[in-house]
Structure 1
Amino acid sequence: IPAPCWIRPGLIALLWLCGFSCCSGAVGETKNVVQKDAEFDVTYNDTVTSENQTIYAFNHTVSRNKTEGVRVSVDVLSQGFESPILFVIRQKQAVLSFQVPLILRGLYQRKYPYKHVGRTLCQPPTRAASESQYFFVDVSTLSNQGTNYQLRVSRVENTVIVKVNSEMNFPCSVMSIQDIQCPVYDLDNNVAFIGMYQTMTKKGAITVQRKDFPSNSFYVVIVVKTEDEACGGPLRFYPLRPDELIDAGNRSKVLDVMVSPAINSDIYVIGMLFCLGIFLSFYLLTLLVACLENKRVSKKREVFQIPADMSPAETGKIPASPYEYGSFADNGSTLSSEAVTDSATSTDNNYGYMDRSLDSVGRSRQESLSSVEEDDYDTLDDINSDKNIVRTKKFLCVSDLARKDKRILKWSNSSQMSHFSRNIATIAVFYALPVVQLVITYQTVVNVTGNQDICYYNFLCAHPLGALSAFNNILSNLGYVMLGLLFLLIVLKRDIVHNRALVRNNLNALECGIPKHFGLFYAMGTALMMEGLLSACYHVCPNYTNFQFDTSFMYMIAGLCMLKLYQKRHPDINASAYTAYACLAVVIFFSVLGVVFGKGNTVFWIVFSVIHILATLLLSTQLYYMGRWRLDSGILRRMVYVIYTDCIRQCSGPMYIDRMVLIVMGNIVNWSAYGLIERPNDFASYLLAIAICNLLLYFAFYIIMKLRSGERIQCLALVCILFTAVVWGFALYFFFQGLSTWQKTPAESREHNRDCILLSFFDDHDIWHFLSSIAMFGSFLVLLTMDDDLDTVQRDKIYVF
C-alpha cells in the first residue's frame, strides 16, 4: 500500500490485529485449555476433543554428573484413524511433536499405523550440580468426537549399553548409540540420523569410544522396525492400494541388555607383543637351524677331508648311482646319453668312484646346464632338432628337460630375480594402491555415517584403534608379511650359496640335483607378503564387494606352488611368467564375475563349467604330451586318428601310465560339476577350493612318485611336512568357525558373532590368520627342501614324473 513511511508500521499492526481477531473468532474462541501438574510413573486416562486442550506439567531434576532419560508413552484407545491426536512436548532447548496413530512407511511406501507410541526425551545440559527443569506435554485434536488416550511418563536409567541379546530372531530391530543431545531419534524412520546404529535379530554389539562422545555419556536406543526385510525376513504381503493402512500386528521383542566395559590399553600392548613374539621366534628358529646346518656341513667336510672350494670331480668322486625305480629299471633304457654305466665303482650310499678326464667333465657340464623359468623358447638349433625325440621317450630324466643355454641362466642368477618375481612385484603395487584407497573410503563412510551394517565384523570381538573399527583383525595379518619376508631371506641365502658354487665350477651345482631356479620362490614369498597386506585391507571393512581382495593372492600362491612343483622336473617346458599371470588374471576375473552374477544365475554357472572343463582338457593334453602338441585346425583329425589307432585298432594302453593316472584323477576332481548340482553361496571360496584341491592332488602325486622312484626325504623336509600338516589341520578348524558371513544380511551375520578367545583380544578368525600364515610358510619350506636329497645325484639319474 503506497503510504508515507511513518504510517506503515501502524498499518501493519492494524492488519495483524484484524487477522488475529478473525482467526480467534473462527477457531479458538471456544477452546478450553486445562493445565495439570503431573507426576512420573503415573498413568493418566483422559479424553480430548477439538473444544478442549490438556497440558501436563512435569518437574524434572537434572543432575550434571548423571545421565537420565525420560520416556513418554501414549496409547490411543479409539478405533478410528481419521482424526489423530497431536502431542507436543516442550522442554528446555527442544520441542518434540508427534501424532497418534503414528503412520510409518516401510518398503514400497507401505503405511503402518501405530496406536501405542513411546518417545524418549533428551536431557538438556546444565552447569549446576542439580537443576529443576519443567517440561510440558500438550494434547490436542481437531476431532469433534471425544478420543480416549492414556499418557505415562517415566524415567529411563542404565543407558550405558553396548551388547544386546535376544532369543527371538524377529521382529527385526535397530540398535543405536546416540550422543546426549536434543532430540533423541527413536523412530524407525529417523533412528539412523545420528550416532552409530546397526540392525539386529538375536545379537547386537557396538564398541563405544570416548573420542566419539565428548560428554562422556550416551543413549542406547533400540527400535523395532516396521518390516523384517532388512534382517533377512520375508516380505509378507503387498497392499491392495497405495494409500492402504496395514496392520503391523503385535511387534514386540524381549531383549537382554548388558553393560560390558571395553578392554584397556594394556590388553592392546599385550596383543601386539604376543603377535610380534610369535613370528620373531621363527626368525630365531631359522637362525638356529642355519647354524646347526653349517656346523654339520663343516664336520662332514672334515670327515671326508674335502676342501670347501673343491668340487666332487676334482676330488675324484661322483654322485651316487641311479635310484632303482619299479617300472623304470628296464635294461637301462631310462638313462640319457650322459648316464654312467659302471655300477661297480659305487662304494657307499653317497659317493662312487670312477676315472673321468677333465674333458668329459666339461662336456657333461655343458650338456647338463640348468634352464631359466621365464623363457619359453629354445636358443640352439640342435635342441629344436631333437626336442621331439627327447620329450617323447617313455622314461625321461631331468637332464632331458634341462637343456637350455647357460648364458640365460647366468643372466638370471646374477640379477637374483626373474620375470616371475619382478612381474608379481609390479602387479602387487598397482593392485594394492587402489585397494588401500578404497578401504580407507569405506572406513571413513562408516565413521561419518555411523552405519554399522556396511562392514561385517565380529562385533563381540572388534577392538577399535584410532579410525580403525577392528584393529585386532588387521594386526593378526602381520604373520603373512613377516613370514613372507623370512622366506625371501632364506631363498636369498640359498641363491647366494648356489651362485658361489657356480663361480667355483662346483660339479654338484652344475650337474647334480634339481636345477636351482629361485625366481618362483621369490614370487611365492612376495605373494605371501601381499596376501597379508590385502587381507588386512579386506578386514578394515569386510563385505561382499571387496572379498576378492582377500582371495586374489591366494589364487596367486596356489598357482605359483603348482608351477614350482611342475618346474622341478620339467624346467625347460614350464610356463612363462607372462602366460602364468595371464591365466591367473582370468581366474581372478571369473572370481569377480562369480561374486557379482554367480548367485542364482544358471547361465553363468553353465558358461563357467564349460570353460572350466575345456581348460582342464587343454591343460591335461599339455601335461601328457610334454608340450609337444599344437592347437590348430588339424587337432580334431589327429584326435580321431589317435583314438582309432590306440583304442579301436589295437586297443593299446597309455604310453605314459603315471602321467595318465594323475590326469585322470585331476579331471575327476575338476569335472565333479559341484557348481551345477549344488551352487555354493561363496563363489570366490569355491574357486579357491578348486585351486587348493588341484594343488594337494599334485603334491600327493609328487610325493608318491618321489618315494616310488627310490628317492628319500631328508629329515628337515620330513619335519616340515609333518609340522605343516598339523598346523593346517588346526588352521582349517578355526577357519570354519564362521564368525560372520557376508552371504547373509548384516543382522543375520551378527548371529554368528562370538567373544574373544585369546588374551581377550583375538577371536577365532585371528587365530586362523596366525595358523594359516605359519602353515603357508611351512608349505613353502617343504617345496624348497623336499628335493635336497638329490643335490649329489646327477640329473641324468633323476627321473621325471
Structure 2
Amino acid sequence: MCSLLWLCVTQFICGSEAVGETKNVVQKDAEFDVTYNDTVTSENQTIYAFNHTVSRNKTEGVRVSVDVLSQGFESPILFVVRQKQAVLSFQVPLILRGLYQRKYPYNHLGRTLCQPPTRAASETQYFFVDVSTLSSQGTNYQLRVSRVESFTLQTDKKFSFTASPSQPQYFKYVFPDGVDTVIVKVNSDMTFPCSVMSVQDIQCPVYDLDNNVAFIGMYQTMTKKGAITVQRKDFPSNSFYVVVVVKTEDEACGGPLRFYPLRPDELIDAGNRTKVIDVVVSPAINSEVYVMGMLFCLGIFLSFYLLTLLVACLENRMKKRREVFLNPADMSPAETGKTPASPYEYGSFADNGSTLSSEAITDSATSTDNNYGYMERSLESVGRSRQESLSSVEEDDYDTLDDIDSDKNIVRTKKFLCVSDLARKDKRILSKKYQIYFWNIATIAVFYALPVIQLVITYQTVVNVTGNQDICFYNFLCAHPLGALSAFNNLLSNLGYVMLGLLFLLIVLKRDIVHNRALVRNDLNALECGIPKHFGLFYAMGTALMMEGLLSACYHVCPNYTNFQFDTSFMYMIAGLCMLKLYQKRHPDINASAYTAYACLAAVIFFSVLGVVFGKGNMVFWIVFSVIHILATLLLSTQLYYMGRWRFDSGVLRRIVYVIYTDCIRQCSGPMYIDRMVLLVMGNIVNWSLAAYGLIERPNDFASYLLAIAICNLLLYFAFYIIMKLRSGERIKCLPLVCILFTAVVWGFALYFFFQGLSTWQKTPAESREHNRDCILLSFFDDHDIWHFLSSIAMFGSFLVLLTMDDDLDTVQRDKIFVF
C-alpha cells in the first residue's frame, strides 16, 4: 500500500506520463549483499524492499551502491531511498559542479543511509529503493545494498577507508563515559585529491556531498592532515558523525586549476579521484591539564618578579655599604664632593657657553674651607624651582642653547664629540619631548586595540556559528578550546609579554624616582655624570611590549590573512623604539621627535599591508619598494653622518656634487668621521643586500621580510654600540653582561621554535594544516606557544640590556664620554 502511494505521488510531481498511460510497477523483496542487475525505462519502475533489525545497543550502517552501465547523460536514472524517518534521492550519472560551473559526471555512486534512533531494545525496520527514469530507451544498472559492519569508530583505534566524490563516507562516534572532549584526526598519504572533513550531529539527512557538506556542523578542507576538536556539550545525543567528502576539484586545497570547457554544457572527465584515508578519535586533555598549563604560565613569569625583587634588595644593600664606606657621617658636603648645582642643566655652563668642568668645582670646593660662594643656593630654593610647572615650557618656544644655529654646526661637526656637546639643552624640555613617546603610544594602543578586539570577537563568533574551520589558521592538533575560544593555549602563552612589559615599566619607574630624588638633593653624579637619564622611551618600550602581548593574543583568536598586522604592528614599533633609544643615549639633543618617529613607523606598517595584499609575485611593487628602501637608507645615512646638520632643500644635489668633487676627486681625502662611516657603510651593505634579495626572490611572507629588515638593522647598530663602547675604554658591568649572555641564548632557542612553522596563512587552509603538530609541552603548549614564552623573556632581557648597559658611566663626567 505504501509503495502504491509513493508511486502516485511520484507520477503527480513529475507529470511525465500522458493522461491514461499506465506504468508497470514491480516490487521485489531484496536481500543484503546481493548485486541486482536490471534495466529501467520510462514504462516501468522497480521497487526493492529491504528489512533489517535495528538494536538500540548496536549501530550498524547500511550502504547503497549503484552502477549505471549505459552512457545516458540526458536521461539519468533516479534512485529514491525511503526510510522510516528520511528520504534520500540521487540520480545516476551524478553531475557534480566545480569552479566556474564545470561539470563532472559519475556513473558509480555509493551512499550511506542515515540511522534513525530507536527506543526499543530491538526493532525491525523497512526501507525501499525506487528506481525510475524518463528515458524511453532501456538503461542497465547494478544495485547492491550491504551492511557496514565497522560503522562505529572506537576510541584511539585507527580506521581506514576509501572515498571519492561520488562515494562519500561517514561513520558514527559515541562519547565514552568520563570523556567530554575528543579530537578527530584524519590523515592520508595522498596530498590530492582535495577532501572535506565534517563533524555533524546525528540526524537525517546527512550532508555528504561536495555541494552540501558545508550546510551544518563543523568542516574543514584537507590534503594530508585534518583535525577537529569536538565537545560533548555541542551534541545532545552524546554522539556525532564523522563525514569525509572528496571534492571534485583541488583549487580549494591549492591544487592546479583545470582547463575551462569550450562549451557551457561540456562534461569533463573527472579521472581517478579515489583517496585512502585514516581516521582516529582520541580523548582531548581534561581540566587538570588546563589548570597545570595556566599555573605553569603564571609561575614562569611571576618568578621574574621575585628575581627582580631579590636583585633590587641585593643592589640596595650593596649601595648602602658603598655609601657608608665612601661617605662617612662626619664628613662635610664639601668633603664628599656633593656640590649643589642647577638641576635643570646637564652641566654648568659659563656665559660664553663653554663647559665648566666638574673637576674644577670639586677642586675649588676642597682647596679652601671658606670659599663656598657659588654654593649659597639652598636646597629649598632648588626644590621650589623644580616644582615649577612644565606645561608652559615647549621645545619650539625657544632654543635653550645660548649660541645661535650656526654655532650648532660648529659644535656638532667636530671630529671628536663628547656627550656634553650633545647634552646642552634644558632638561625640562627634553624630558617633556621624550615623554611624548609614551603618551603617543598609549593613545595609539587604545585606539588600535578597541576595534581589534571587536573584530576578533566577530571572527570567533562567525567560526562558532558557521562551523567553517577554514577561516582561522590554527595548529589544529594542539588547539585547546575554552568557552567560545577555539585555541585558548595560543592566547594564554602571550601572557608573558603583558606581565614582563608591566615588570619593565615598574623597573623604569623605580629608576626614574631614584634619579629624580638624586636631582632634588643635587647629587653631583646625577647632574654632571653619566649618560643623560631620559625615561620616556623606556616607558614607551614597556607599553609596546604589553601591547604586543595583547594584540598577539587577539591575532591568535583567529589567525588569518586579513588580521596578520595585529601580530606584527607593535613588533615594528619595538624594533624602532629600541634603535631610537640606542641613538638617544649618546645624542639626547638631536634624537627624532615622537611625531616623526611614529609617522615613519606608520609608513612601515602601511607598506607591510601593501606587501601582503599586492606583493605576492608583483614585480612592480617590489621594484617600487626596493627603490624606496634604498633611498630611505641613503637619506638616514646622511642624517646620521652629519648629525642632522645636512639641509635637505633645493640645493641638496649641488652640494652632493661639490662634496664628491672636493673630497673624492680633487684631493681624495678620507672620511672625517671614520667610526660613523664604518657603521653606515655596513648598514648600507646590509640594507642594499636585503633589498636585492627581496627584488630577486620576492618572498611570500612580506610581513616577516619587513620585520627581518628591522631586526637586522637593530642588531647591527647594537653590535656597533657594544664594540665602540669597549673600544672607547668603557666597560660593561656584571648585571648587563649577564643580561646580554642570557638574552642571546634565549633568542637562539626562541628563533628555533619560531621557524618550526606550525601554520601559515600564505597558503590555503588545507596546506597550512600539513604543518600542524601535536603539543610538546605539558600536552597543552605547542612550538609556537614556546616561541611566545621565550621571545617575551628575550625582549624583556633586551630591554634590561638597554636600561643597564651604560651603568658603568654613572660616575664619569659627560665631557669624558665619547659620542659614536
Give the TM-score taking structure 1 as reference length.
0.89
Deviation at 1:82, TM superposition (A): 2.9
List per-residue Cα deviations over 1:398-453 (Å, max 9, x = no partner).
Answer: 111111123435xxxx9998101110000001111111111111111111111111
Deviation at 1:57, TM superposition (A): 2.1
Question: Structure 1 residues 13, 541: CA separation in 2 closer, same or farther (over 3 Å shift)?
Answer: closer
List per-residue Cα deviations over 1:293-334 (Å, max 9, x = no partner).
Answer: 11x434533552426999986503899999999999999999
Q: Say what the alpha-carbon RMSD is for the aligned residues.
A: 5.6
CA contact (8 A) 2:473 2:765 kept: yes
CA contact (8 A) 2:390 2:428 kept: no
CA contact (8 A) 1:319 1:351 kept: no
Deviation at 1:346, TM superposition (A): 16
Answer yes or no: is 1:384 the counterpart of 2:374. no
Question: Structure 1 residues 338, 613: CA separation in 2 closer, same or farther (over 3 Å shift)?
Answer: farther
Question: Structure 1 residues 16, 563: CA separation in 2 closer, same or farther (over 3 Å shift)?
Answer: closer
Deviation at 1:781, TM superposition (A): 0.4
Deviation at 1:782, TM superposition (A): 0.3
Secondary structure of the residue aligned to 1:491 is helix
Counting only pairs closer than 5 Å after superposition, residues 14-93 of structure 1 correspond to structure 2 as 26=18, 29-64=21-56, 67-93=59-85
Deviation at 1:36, TM superposition (A): 2.5
List per-residue Cα deviations over 1:566-616 (Å, max 9, x = no partner).
Answer: 000000000011110011001101111111111111111111111111111
Q: Distance in 1 between matches of 2:311 and 2:276?
A: 60
List per-residue Cα deviations over 1:138-191 (Å, max 9, x = no partner).
Answer: 111222333222222334469997111111111111111111111111111111
Secondary structure of the residue aligned to 2:50 is strand
Deviation at 1:344, TM superposition (A): 17
CA contact (8 A) 2:508 2:535 kept: yes
Question: Structure 1 residues 14, 256: CA separation in 2 closer, same or farther (over 3 Å shift)?
Answer: closer
Q: Distance in 1 between matches of 2:465 and 2:45?
A: 42
Question: Structure 1 residues 112, 729: CA separation in 2 closer, same or farther (over 3 Å shift)?
Answer: same
CA contact (8 A) 1:373 1:571 kept: no
List per-residue Cα deviations over 1:761-781 (Å, max 9, x = no partner).
Answer: 111001000000000000000
Secondary structure of the residue aligned to 1:418 is helix
Answer yes or no: is 1:616 the counterpart of 2:637. no
Which residue number in structure 1 is paired with residue 380 of structure 2? Answer: 359
Q: Distance in 2 between matches of 1:308 and 1:50?
A: 117
Question: Structure 1 residues 24, 607: CA separation in 2 closer, same or farther (over 3 Å shift)?
Answer: closer
CA contact (8 A) 2:194 2:246 kept: yes
CA contact (8 A) 1:318 1:352 kept: no
Question: Structure 1 residues 22, 424: CA separation in 2 closer, same or farther (over 3 Å shift)?
Answer: closer
List per-residue Cα deviations over 1:61-108 (Å, max 9, x = no partner).
Answer: 444455544322211122332321100011123211110000011111
CA contact (8 A) 1:50 1:141 kept: yes
CA contact (8 A) 1:713 1:786 kept: yes
Secondary structure of the residue aligned to 1:256 is strand
CA contact (8 A) 1:334 1:396 kept: no
Deviation at 1:357, TM superposition (A): 15
78-87 or 254-263: bigger deviation = 78-87
Question: Structure 1 residues 555, 393: CA separation in 2 closer, same or farther (over 3 Å shift)?
Answer: same
CA contact (8 A) 1:326 1:709 kept: no
Deviation at 1:623, TM superposition (A): 0.5
648-657 or 152-161: bigger deviation = 152-161
CA contact (8 A) 2:348 2:356 kept: no
358-367 or 114-123: bigger deviation = 358-367
Secondary structure of the residue aligned to 1:338 is helix
CA contact (8 A) 1:320 1:793 kept: no
110-119 or 711-720: bigger deviation = 110-119
Deviation at 1:243, TM superposition (A): 0.2
List per-residue Cα deviations over 1:443-497 (Å, max 9, x = no partner).
Answer: 1111111111111111111111111111111111111001100100110111111
Question: Structure 1 residues 323, 755: CA separation in 2 closer, same or farther (over 3 Å shift)?
Answer: farther
CA contact (8 A) 2:365 2:371 kept: no
Q: Distance in 2 between matches of 1:646 and 1:83?
A: 89
Q: 1:428 aligns with which of 445, 470, 482?
A: 445
680-689 or 130-139: bigger deviation = 130-139
Secondary structure of the residue aligned to 2:818 is coil
List per-residue Cα deviations over 1:322-369 (Å, max 9, x = no partner).
Answer: 999999999999998988999999999999999999999999999999
Secondary structure of the residue aligned to 1:545 is coil
Deviation at 1:680, TM superposition (A): 0.6
Deviation at 1:58, TM superposition (A): 2.4
Secondary structure of the residue aligned to 2:595 is helix
CA contact (8 A) 2:529 2:811 kept: yes
Secondary structure of the residue aligned to 1:137 is strand
Give the TM-score taking structure 2 as reference length.
0.87
List per-residue Cα deviations over 1:253-293 (Å, max 9, x = no partner).
Answer: 01111121111111111111111111111111111111111
Which residue number in structure 2 is paired with residue 740 of structure 1? Answer: 759
Counting only pairs closer than 5 Å after superposition, residues 132-147 of structure 1 correspond to structure 2 as 132-147=124-139
Deviation at 1:38, TM superposition (A): 2.8
Q: Distance in 1 between matches of 2:381 and 2:369?
A: 23
Which residue number in structure 1 is paired with residue 555 of structure 2? Answer: 538
Which residue number in structure 2 is paired with residue 440 of structure 1? Answer: 457
741-750 or 372-381: bigger deviation = 372-381
Which residue number in structure 1 is paired with residue 296 of structure 2? Answer: 274
Question: Structure 1 residues 368, 102: CA separation in 2 closer, same or farther (over 3 Å shift)?
Answer: closer
Q: Distance in 2 between matches of 1:447 and 1:201?
A: 23
Q: Distance in 1 between matches of 2:188 and 2:411?
A: 72
Give the % identical residues. 93
CA contact (8 A) 1:335 1:397 kept: no
List per-residue Cα deviations over 1:94-135 (Å, max 9, x = no partner).
Answer: 211110000011111111001111223222233334433222
Which residue number in structure 2 is paired with residue 759 of structure 1? Answer: 778
Secondary structure of the residue aligned to 1:208 is strand
Secondary structure of the residue aligned to 1:259 is strand
Which residue number in structure 2 is paired with residue 589 of structure 1? Answer: 606
CA contact (8 A) 1:339 1:796 kept: no
Question: Structure 1 residues 723, 344: CA separation in 2 closer, same or farther (over 3 Å shift)?
Answer: farther
Secondary structure of the residue aligned to 1:666 is helix
CA contact (8 A) 2:434 2:534 kept: no
CA contact (8 A) 1:322 1:797 kept: no
The structure whose RCO (Cα within 8 Å, separation 6+) is larger is 1
CA contact (8 A) 2:334 2:366 kept: no
Question: Structure 1 residues 229, 796: CA separation in 2 closer, same or farther (over 3 Å shift)?
Answer: same
631-640 or 573-582: bigger deviation = 631-640
Q: Distance in 1 between matches of 2:371 and 2:103?
A: 87
607-616 or 699-708: bigger deviation = 607-616
Deviation at 1:504, TM superposition (A): 0.7
Question: Structure 1 residues 577, 334: CA separation in 2 closer, same or farther (over 3 Å shift)?
Answer: same
Q: Distance in 2 between matches of 1:317 and 1:374?
A: 30
Q: Distance in 2 between matches of 1:386 and 1:729?
A: 47
CA contact (8 A) 2:452 2:566 kept: yes
Question: Structure 1 residues 324, 394: CA separation in 2 closer, same or farther (over 3 Å shift)?
Answer: farther
List per-residue Cα deviations over 1:609-645 (Å, max 9, x = no partner).
Answer: 1111111111111100111111111111111111111
CA contact (8 A) 1:472 1:766 kept: yes
Q: Distance in 2 between matches of 1:104 and 1:647?
A: 74
